[in-house]
Amino acid sequence: MAIERVFSQSVPDDERYLTALRPQRLDECIGQEVVREQLRIALDAARKRGEPLDHVLLDGPPGLGKTTLAHVIAHEMQATIRVTSGPAIARQGDLMMMLTQMERGDVLFIDEIHRLAKVVEEFLYPALEDFRVDYTTESGIGGRTVNFALRRFTLVGATTRAGMLSAALRDRFGLLFHLQFYTEDELVRIVERNAQVLKIKADHAALQRLASRSRGTPRIVNRLLRRVRDYAEVRGDGALTPDVVDAALEILQIDALGLDNLDRAYLTALIRHYDGGPAGIEAISATMGHERDTLEDVVEPYLLQIGFVIRTPRGRVARPAAYQHLGLPERGRASDERLLFE
């Protein structure tokens, strides 16, 4: 049976809420110090030359700020941003319509760019390199190909699975940035800022408690802030305290490490059904009734980061910390764990 989670994909109401909290300028962003410094240099150089910014590829787990950085880039360059996603561009004509509407310096943001259709991806190559495209106006014998000149624009691509990008597409980006999970201190600064924006009364300890359970992800800490605010208004006086945070997150079934029902179900399936592994991701997804992509993109990155799971050539393996966290006895293993990596 499918398991609901507070960390699921964005819904329109959440998107409006997150957009209101989104930084507008690079100096307002918190965390990702290396990426911000490299991007600042590129932006300053582009503005100094009076040229559009080079194409940018952002990769990393969901919720780390790829969409935010795309909007920041457009704002810093004083450009219009057009937003779409890989699955939404089904045909060359869909992309052609957007490209011909771009003004000089505009930003085209393609989320989930790894999911572009192959024919669309190949159509994009000359647009990125030469700012020209060859478009076939009609199919069949009567069709003709017209070469269109495009205004120079900046493509910002975002992906959670950089390994699925073709080398040909990746090589056409001049700036490539990998976003890391945020530290707890960075998340505290983010949630403090957002609590002020939303005029939420909260003490530092309560916000620190929220940050520690947010899986190193700003999107999650912002959502939890909203859920805890609702709880505080209904069950309390509207102020956030450590006790209010603990009570609200207990209702949401989020534990001290930020794991929710889906995370615990993943670990339980791996440990109980497959004796802790090694087990293939397809087998685990079939056991849980969830899509493989959901587990690989949403669940596993954090479990890998905190050392609860490792990936081996033979499959996923639960580590002792996962058993301890779930309160399960660790079963005996072969004495030579090197066999897992063969």
Q: Rounded to whole angstroms, how far apart are CA atoms 294 and 170?
A: 24
Which residues make Cβ contacts (< 8 Å) with residue 333, sequence separation at least 6? 276
Pairing relation of β-strands 145-149 and 132-136? antiparallel
160, 213, 223, 319: the catalytic one is 160
Please answer whether residues 81 and 107 qualify as being in contact, where contact means their C-beta atoms are separated by less than 8 angstroms. Answer: yes
Tell me the one-letter amino acid at 77: M
199 has catalytic annotation: no
CA 128, 126, 150: angle at the middle one, nearest 5? 70
Which residue stretches of 156-308 are H helix?
Answer: 167-170, 184-197, 204-212, 218-235, 242-251, 261-268, 281-288, 292-294, 300-305
Nearest to 311 by CA among 277, 268, 266, 336: 277
106, 111, 260, 263: the catalytic one is 111
Which residues make Cβ contacts (< 8 Å) with residue 15, sequence separation at least 6? none
183 has catalytic annotation: no
Upper half-sphere CA count for residue 130 (Cβ side, 13 Å): 9
66 has catalytic annotation: yes
DSSP 8-class letter at 25: S
DSSP string over 266-324: HHHIIIIITTT--B-HHHHHHHHT--HHHIIIIIHHHHHHTTSEEEETTEEEE-HHHHH
Pairing relation of β-strands 175-178 and 81-85? unpaired
67, 68, 217, 294: the catalytic one is 67
5, 66, 209, 229: the catalytic one is 66
List the catalytic residues.
Answer: 66-67, 111, 160, 219
